[in-house]
Chain A
Amino acid sequence: MASVPRFWRGIGSRYNLEGTRCNECGEYFYPPRNFCVNCRRVGHIEPYKFKGTGEIISYTVIHTAAEGFEDQTPYILAIIQLDEGPRLTSQVIGNPENIHIRMRVRSVFRKLGEDGEGGMIYYGTKFVPEHE
Chain B
Amino acid sequence: MRDVAIIGVKNTKFGELWERSLRDIVVEAGAGALEDAGVGGKEIDSLYVGNMSGGRFIDQEHIGALIADYSGLSKNLHVPATRVEAACASGGLALRQAIMAVASGYNDIVIAAGAEKMTDVGSEEASSALSAAADREWEGMTGATFPGLYAMIARLHMHRYGTTSEQLAEVAVKNHKNGSLNPIAQYKNRITVKDVLNSIMVADPLHIFDCSPITDGASAVVLAPADIAHKYTDTPIYIRATAQASDTIALHDRRDITTLDATVVAAKRAYSMAKLRPEDIDLVEVHDCFTIAEICAIEDLGFAEKGKGGIVTANGETAIGSRIPVNTSGGLKACGHPVGATGIKQAVEIVTQLRGEAGQRQVEGAEYGMTHNVGGSGATAVVHIFSRER
Interface residues of A, Cβ cutoff 8 Å to B = 1-2, 6-7, 10, 31, 57-67, 69, 72, 75, 77-80, 86-91, 96, 101, 112-113, 122, 124
User: Of B128, B143, B145, which is within 8 A of A72 by CB?
Assistant: B143
B145 touches A66 (CB 8 A): yes
Nearest Cβ on chain A to B119's Cβ, whole angstroms: 18
Chain B residues, CB < 8 A from A79 = 152, 251-252, 257
Chain B residues, CB < 8 A from A87 = 252-253
B159 touches A62 (CB 8 A): no
A89 touches B138 (CB 8 A): yes
B252 touches A61 (CB 8 A): no
Q: Does B141 contact A (CB under 8 A)?
A: yes
B145 touches A89 (CB 8 A): no
Nearest Cβ on chain A to B211's Cβ, whole angstroms: 9
Do most interface residues of chain A lie in helix, strand or loop, or is the interface mixed? Answer: strand
A60 touches B203 (CB 8 A): yes
Q: Provide the B244-267 mask, 1 if CB < 8 A to any CB of A, else 0.
A: 000000111100010000000000
Chain A residues, CB < 8 A from B152 = 57-60, 77-79
Q: Provide the B142-155 mask, 1 if CB < 8 A to any CB of A, else 0.
A: 11110110011101
Q: Does B54 contact A (CB under 8 A)?
A: no
Chain A residues, CB < 8 A from B155 = 58-60, 101
B156 touches A112 (CB 8 A): no
For this complex, 10 residue pairs linking A to B, each with C-beta atoms less than 8 Å apart, are A57-B152, A57-B252, A60-B205, A61-B203, A62-B148, A66-B143, A69-B143, A77-B152, A88-B252, A101-B159
CA distance A101 to B201 in the complex (A): 20
Chain A residues, CB < 8 A from B142 = 77, 89-91, 112, 124
Chain B residues, CB < 8 A from A90 = 142
Interface residues of B, Cβ cutoff 8 Å to A = 124, 127-128, 131, 136-145, 147-148, 151-153, 155-156, 159, 200-206, 250-253, 257
Nearest Cβ on chain B to A64's Cβ, whole angstroms: 5
A70 — nearest CB in chain B belongs to which residue? B124
Known: A63-B202, A66-B145. A58 touches B140 (CB 8 A): no
CA distance A57 to B250 in the complex (A): 14
B160 — nearest CB in chain A belongs to which residue? A101
User: Of B145, B202, B204, B257, which is within 8 A of A57 by CB?
Assistant: B257
CA distance A23 to B136 in the complex (A): 28
CA distance A1 to B151 in the complex (A): 22
B203 touches A64 (CB 8 A): yes
A91 touches B143 (CB 8 A): yes
> What 5 pairs between A and B have smallest CB-CB spacing?
A60-B151, A58-B156, A58-B152, A87-B252, A61-B204
Q: Which of A31, A75, A122 neighbours the largest number of chain B CB atoms within 10 Å of its CB?
A: A31
Known: A79-B251, A87-B252, A88-B252. A62 touches B143 (CB 8 A): yes
CA distance A65 to B148 in the complex (A): 9
